[in-house]
Amino acid sequence: MNRMEYSLRLLTLPARPDRPMSIPLPKNKMTRLGRNNVAATDPQIVTFMMNTEEYSHNRDLLSRTHCELWFTLDGKLMIRDGGTSAETGITKPSVNGTSIQGILLPFGAERELRVGYEVELGTPQIVPGRRDDTPRPNEFVYRVEAEEADCFRWRGRSVPKPKFKEEVEVKEEPKVKEEGSTSAQHETSVKRRRQAVASMQEEAASSSTAPVTPLTAPAADASEPKRLRSGKTYP
């Protein structure tokens, strides 16, 4: 599946309202370029108004419907000199011609365009029958470009694909294996508790039956002289 998005990129002179820097070429619609200020009523046709008197010094350089671009069923990008007027519905070629790679496209003819091809709209200097000193306008020169589509479909519209930070692999902590208590282990723990209680009871009983020796002050020695509080002794 071809996921490339095509466009015409302006090569010469700065961009302006009637000379866009980039002209997108949708695959499911026809793109119509020219001086006509009437948009097509067909929703499958996209119209770009170019070469207006307000910005261009070369009046009427482009025809009202100068050229048409579309994709075939097998994905080829095609261009046709001239086209069908949105006002009258009449199909006719352009007046000042269209060139591909510097070669004039025959009036009313169509050719395949490839990535990197240079397309110039309005080339009176190479139109047969014109004067040899006819200058080249060099006003609407574009190049066919293509890039991989970075979007996904959402409710029938193309939405830019969100960019995420580098995914970090998070390792799960190993789960602690829970030891299941069996009936044998339970009985063993109960026996140990009973033995501990019995030993504590025995110790308490033995301590209660043992004879208690009363605490008495040591007998005073008769030969030892008595001492007064003042530190003197007397017999």
Confidence (pLDDT) at 13: 78
Q: Is the pLDDT of residue 77 over 90?
A: yes
Confidence (pLDDT) at 216: 57
> For the residues 89-106, what does the mean pLDDT come to?
93
Percent share of the chain, pLDDT over 90? 49
> For the residues 37-59, what does the mean pLDDT come to?
87
Neighbours of 4 (CB within 10 A): 13
Q: Encode 184-201: b = buried (16+ Cβ within 10 Å), e = exposed.
A: eeeeeeeeeeeeeeeeee
> For the residues 91-115, what does the mean pLDDT come to?
94
Length of the chain in residues, anyone? Answer: 235
**Rounded Cα distance, 125 and 131, in Å:** 8
Confidence (pLDDT) at 153: 47
User: Hey, what CATH class is 4-147 in?
Assistant: mainly beta
Q: Is the pLDDT of residue 178 over 90?
A: no
**Rounded Cα distance, 64 and 86, in Å:** 9
Q: Backbone dihedral region of 26: left (phi > 0), alpha (psi from -120 to 50 degrees) or beta?
A: beta
| Domain range summary for the chain, segments of one domain joined by + | 4-147
Confidence (pLDDT) at 204: 72
pLDDT one-digit tens code per residue, 194-235: 888 777 877 777 765 555 555 555 555 555 555 555 555 555
Q: Which one, of 143, 124, 142, lies nearest residue 134 by Cα?
A: 124
> What is the rounded average pLDDT for all residues in the chain?
80
**Rounded Cα distance, 4 and 133, in Å:** 41
Q: Is the pLDDT of residue 109 over 50?
A: yes
Confidence (pLDDT) at 173: 54
